[in-house]
Structure 1
Amino acid sequence: MLTIHHLGVSQSERIVWLCEELGVPYALKLYVRDPVTRAAPAEYRAIHPAGTAPVITDGDLTLSESGAIIEYIIAKYGEGRMARAPDHPEFASYLFWLHYANGSLMPAIMSDRMAAAARPAGAPIPAIPTRSERGLAMVEARLGQAPYFAGDELTAADVIMLFPLRPSRLFEPRDLTPYPNLRAWLRRISERPAYQRAMGQAEPGQPIALV
């Protein structure tokens, strides 16, 4: 059986949500971060050589990386649902956002946070937009064109984009007031029964509302 190894407060919550949306049976194994360092426990890091979340096991297969796991589950168990076929008018948009989430947006957010943390107290904030701010501007523009990243329906592009866009539980939350389209998208996500079920299992006790 497909097993999702979920590290608390991590990107692996998106895999639980994907399976709930698709109605794919899975077993969920929860792992708790170290309360002081917030690092994954040794037993989690030992599952896959990458040592990062998410990770799934499926029979003899052990697979890491969000994008790879999402494509694997959709292809093997989802019968292509929640993806866009090559002949779909939103196919290119689907591919872009599916890969942009972890390929560009997450690194931009992390590098901006590290740069801000390293800035001396009282140092001026650069006037030019940061990489993550440029990314959020792109997100806001896209969600002004369509309710979801690949058009009128939820796809895996939305599933993978949520983690970098949701209010952070590991860092100081970003003010999303300037992004009404993004906030509306977050409300739509939080109202989905599959998302509510996923978070109830993966992050029991955490608020479901995203805005």
Structure 2
Amino acid sequence: MITVHHLEHSRSQRVLWLLEELGVPYEIKAYSRDPKTMLAPPELRAVHPLGKSPVIVDDGVTVAETGAIVEWILERHAGGRLAPPAGTPERARLAYWLHYAEGSAMPPLLLKLVFMRLATGVPFLLKGLVGAIAGRAQSSFIDPQLKAHADYWEAELSKSEWFAGPDFSAADIMMSFPLEAAASRGGALEGRPHVKAFLDKIHARPAYRRALEKGGPYAYAD
């Protein structure tokens, strides 16, 4: 059975959702964030040296990184489900979105989170200066990047109902976290009806709801 090392309020929620969509049996080893730093607990380093989540253990093999985990599960457990046929343009789009989600979409969202919290914990006399620097970084670089990505999602979802084509696939599961995070902290829903419709549809899926029930706290769902 697959063991999912799952951190609350994190990207690993997608792994639970994928397994629920496929009906693959799994067990959860749950971890809570440090309430002060919001970082993963040190116990995760016993599973993987970087101490990050998600990590799965399947038949004695440890797999980290969400995109790699999704590919592993699709190859070993999906039986052709949630992936377009090999050699098709839709399959190429699936591969693209699996890599884009973490490689391109998440960096500006992470920067946004870092700069939003930058002034927290600094001496009082420096708060104004640090706040000004953080605000400038957000307005001049981070926010324009987030807008460009959100506009890109809107344009792509206006062409087809789902990211890889007309059918729901693992690409949509992988892209869920960037869109949810952007809606939460980047204003991605404003003026983007297709992005909103995508989030409404995934949040209504029974497998998504089951994964939430099993996974525990997750700040990005409805």
Task: Identify the TM-score tier after normalising by the shorter chain.
Answer: 0.7 to 0.9
1:174 to 186, 191, 207: 186
**Mapped contact 2:8–2:217 kept (Cα < 8 A):** no
Q: Which residue of 2 aligns with 1:6?
A: 6
Cα deviation for residue 133 of structure 1 reads: 1.7
> Distance between the aligned counterparts of 1:90 and 1:200, measured in 2?
31
TM-score by length of 2: 0.83
Q: Which residue of 2 aligns with 1:146?
A: 160
Cα deviation for residue 97 of structure 1 reads: 1.2
Counterparts in 2 of 1:182-193, with a 5 A limit? Answer: 182-193=195-206
SS class of match (1:3): strand
Task: Tell me whether 1:21 sits opposite 2:21 in the alignment.
Answer: yes
Could you tell me which amino acid in structure 1 is paired with residue 180 of structure 2?
R
Higher normalized helix content (fraction of residues): 2
Structure with the greater alpha carbon radius of gyration: 2
SS class of match (2:175): helix
> Distance between the aligned counterparts of 2:54 and 2:218, measured in 1?
21
Cα deviation for residue 49 of structure 1 reads: 1.5
Cα deviation for residue 109 of structure 1 reads: 1.9
Q: Indicate the larger mover: 10-19 or 120-129.
A: 120-129
Cα deviation for residue 60 of structure 1 reads: 1.7
**Mapped contact 2:97–2:175 kept (Cα < 8 A):** yes
> Distance between the aligned counterparts of 2:202 and 2:4, measured in 1?
21
Could you tell me which amino acid in structure 1 is paired with residue 193 of structure 2?
P
Query: Structure 1 residues 168, 90: CA separation in 2 closer, same or farther (over 3 Å shift)?
Result: closer
Could you tell me which amino acid in structure 1 is paired with residue 94 of structure 2?
Y
Please report the RMSD computed on the Cα atoms of aligned residues, expressed in angstroms.
2.5
SS class of match (2:89): coil
Query: Structure 1 residues 41, 153: CA separation in 2 closer, same or farther (over 3 Å shift)?
Result: same
Task: Tell me whether 1:31 sits opposite 2:45 in the alignment.
Answer: no
Q: Which residue of 1 aligns with 2:170?
A: 156
SS class of match (1:130): helix
Task: Tell me whether 1:202 sits opposite 2:209 in the alignment.
Answer: no
List structure 1 segments (4+ residues) > 6 angstroms apart after TM superposition. Answer: none
> Distance between the aligned counterparts of 2:159 and 2:67, measured in 1?
24
Cα deviation for residue 129 of structure 1 reads: 6.4
The alignment-based identity, stated in percent, is 41
Counterparts in 2 of 1:62-211, with a 5 A limit? Answer: 62-114=62-114, 120=132, 123=136, 125-126=139-140, 130-167=144-181, 173-175=185-187, 176-203=189-216, 208-209=221-222
> Distance between the aligned counterparts of 1:163 and 1:22, measured in 2?
19
Cα deviation for residue 43 of structure 1 reads: 1.0
Give CA-to-partner distance per residue, 1:118-171, whole Å, 9 cap, x none: 6617759339962222111111100111111011211111111111110469xx
> Distance between the aligned counterparts of 2:106 and 2:27, measured in 1?
27
SS class of match (1:62): strand
Could you tell me which amino acid in structure 1 is paired with residue 150 of structure 2?
L
> Distance between the aligned counterparts of 1:51 and 1:206, measured in 2?
21
Could you tell me which amino acid in structure 1 is paired with residue 149 of structure 2?
G
